[in-house]
Amino acid sequence: MNYKWQPNISINNLIKRARLIRKIRKFFEYRNYIEIETPLLSNSTTTNINILPFETKLIGNNYRKLYLISSPEFHMKRLLCIGMNKIFQLCHSFRNGEIGKYHNPEFTILEWYRTNCNMNDIMLETNKLLQLILKYKKSDFISYQNIFIKYTNIDPLDIDKKKINQFLLKNRLMHLFTNNYDNIIQLIFSLIITPKLGLKKPIFVYHFPVYQAELAHINDKNNKIVDRFEVYFKGIELSNGCYELINAREQLKRFMCEYKKIISNKSKRYIDKKLILALKYGNISNCSGVALGIDRLIMLSLKTNTLSKIISFDINNA
């Protein structure tokens, strides 16, 4: 008998997944968040050069180009700009080329935004949600600068090219070398530090370097860092969040900076001008937001070792 038609997930895990998602919804409903829906197809997309979007065309209307969203963030912020205060969404998002043990091109994401809320507030709320789903008592919290120095003895906020080159040479990592030392710092963090993070309990890494935040507010006391954090568990990135940038002029400036990188890479995308207009003319208060990978969260909660065991059909079985 040919079993290739069957889903990846077992009936038992399918039921457990449904129950965990129900718990997540109740978590936000209890806190008076409003669940919203936004489009999966968009006229524009992210300018982040590290994310490759899926493209399609609308038949008729001169075959207008559309994109599958890589995140619902921009549309959710436009809702904040009409005066919404606490919103959350569970939906599918899409990122091209991301296939592997912890990646599927189509994945389930949870995003939530809260006004009058700083980075520390949203980190504590994230921690409460993770405690509910992962069943642990305490997380670790450490700055990006301190965790980087701990594992490499390199200060990522005060780049010493000679020291970085020596580290690459000593650790046989010269294949990571580029002329862009900001990129090297990110590669070292991703390949060397990340696998060591949160092995026993989740760890929040906060205050990332300013060159690693397209959408986050620059810290009021130190302009080398932004109010942004990421959460890691078992060496896996689970979520990221920040105190959001809501200045339209600064946001456009950052989009243009990323846009130039994309153009130099011979790729063309459209900046989300509607988000810029919303930030400029809308009624948005200071806010923080979080994006969390639901598939990874459920994978860790159910103690499986790959995403394919907790989603109905992965890309190879779709």
The pLDDT tens digits for 22-39 are 999 999 999 999 999 999
3-state helix, strand, coil in the chain (%, to 5): 40, 20, 40
Distance between CA 266 and CA 261 in Å, rounded?
A: 9
Residue 171 in tokens: 């650790």
Q: Is-contact 148 155, C-beta < 8 A?
A: yes
Residue 196 lies in a domain: no
Query: What are the φ/ψ torsions at residue 174 (nearest 5 degrees)?
Result: -60, -20
Residue 70 lies in a domain: yes
Residue 149 lies in a domain: no
CATH number of the domain within which 133 lies:
3.30.930.10
Residue 180 is predicted with a pLDDT of: 87
Q: Round the average pLDDT of the chain to a whole number and report it.
A: 94
Residue 289 lies in a domain: yes
Residues 177-199: what's their mean pLDDT?
93
Residues 252-273: what's their mean pLDDT?
81
Amino acid at residue number 258: E
**Local confidence band at 1 (pLDDT 50, 70, 90 cut-offs):** low
Whether residue 263 has pLDDT greater than 90: no
Residue 49 is predicted with a pLDDT of: 83
Q: Is-contact 156 187, C-beta < 8 A?
A: no
Residue 216 lies in a domain: yes
**Local confidence band at 227 (pLDDT 50, 70, 90 cut-offs):** very high
Q: Give me the domain span that covers residue 121.
A: 11-139+201-309
**Local confidence band at 267 (pLDDT 50, 70, 90 cut-offs):** low
Number of domains in the chain: 1
Residue 227 lies in a domain: yes
**Local confidence band at 274 (pLDDT 50, 70, 90 cut-offs):** very high
Residue 260 lies in a domain: yes
Residue 285 lies in a domain: yes
